[in-house]
Structure 1
Amino acid sequence: MEEVLKLLNENNSVQENLKILNEQLKGKIVFSTSFGIEDQVITNEIFSNQLENIEVFTLDTGRLFPETYEVWDKTNLKFGNKIKPFYPEASNIEKYVSDNGINGFYNSVELRKECCNIRKVQPLNRALQGANVWITGLRAEQSPNRQTMKLVEWDEAHQLYKFNPLMNWSTDDVVAYLQQKGVPYNTLHHKGFISIGCAPCTRAVKEGEDFRAGRWWWEDQSKKECGLHQ
């Protein structure tokens, strides 16, 4: 597998790198989409090029924006129903809400992280089970702690390789691609929403604010990760 991963490089197009994985890697390859603009680029590349060895999945937390579900539906209509959903365990949600209230995540960082763990991290762990490579839509400009990531890196927490094909793409690059290819995207991006997660935990970003300022805006800037990408 390491020999195949060495063939991936920043001089290749996204399509070329994905085709290398699809055709030469023996093992489970997965791509996680949250239907953000970056993820729509990768989804389009996978489905348009019939890269059947790459499984596309999403995490439905149960508290997504209606606009996000609309993008999901439009993407399925465009490419066929190929996106596999993973949901949180109902018993865990029931206990959390019973103990902390429907919006208990506002009360402390610990409770917010617990909610993220139940709704996102635990389903992700199930989705990644048995995978050798996890493809993501992470980009370096999204946050300070993502500026040091590599095209291919070892994810110690999940014991697999993480591949970030859009690592060096700018927001303008992503938007231009979607417009050129006619790919569905979330209309909230026109309303100041840049990084879009769960509805109660996401607001529009004001001019001059950081890329992820709209996520968990009531918390300190340094805490703005949910645990999916450690």
Structure 2
Amino acid sequence: MTASSFPAPPPLEGTGAFGQVDTWVFDLDNTLYPAHHDLWAQIDARMKAYISQLLGLPPDEAFVIQKDYYRRYGTSLRGLMIEHKVEPSAFLAHVHDVDLTGLDAAPRLAAAIEALPGTKLVYTNGSERHARNVLEKLGMDAHFAAVHDIVAAEFHPKPTQEAYQRFLDAHGVDPARAAMFEDLARNLEVPHRLGMVTVLVVPPGQTVAARESWEFEGREAAYVDHVTEDLAGFLEQVAPPADAG
């Protein structure tokens, strides 16, 4: 199926800034696949179980710690490393051991990403192995030049400026010529300050299982340049495929 097989999306205003973009940076979870899939719910549950066993706590108490660390340190893993000296590889292997059978290929989105001019990168607070597994299932692994994961970031997670600077330096990205796509508004504040065009990818109705209410804060913030509920449609309007029409 080609991109031209899909109906044209409605006109989108305010995308002129993308004319200078030559590097397209995408978050993974709940950004490159629809947020209604249960992948994040699986990851969330496995983090809770890991912390419960690690600290000898009931699941509900482990969940409170998990979310507290996530909010304060950027990832639950970072909090566990700082507060409990947790070895990260075992944690990452456990929490990303998820069932991908319900995740379908996304040919329309894959075609839209392939059509973007320049370099495409995935930047995730998760592991590269998880990212590659998901991208392969979505049918878009070949479209990305690299995956920058939490290991490459030396476990400094988004949304800290240090994390983004490490990413930019590692891949030689000029932020003034880059765009960042994220499902969490707080992860767009630093990219915007650095000069990137920012796009918040949201689910219809803003309701997603396994997400905290504070994670949806910031949609109206000045550091969010664009908001879309349809990433494929948005990208088609930013850089229409050559065979469209």
- Shorter-chain TM range is 0.3 to 0.5
Q: Greater RCO between the two (CA within 8 Å, min separation 6)?
A: 2
Give 1 or 2: higher helix fraction.
2
TM value normalised by structure 1: 0.38
Q: TM-score, length-normalised on structure 2?
A: 0.36
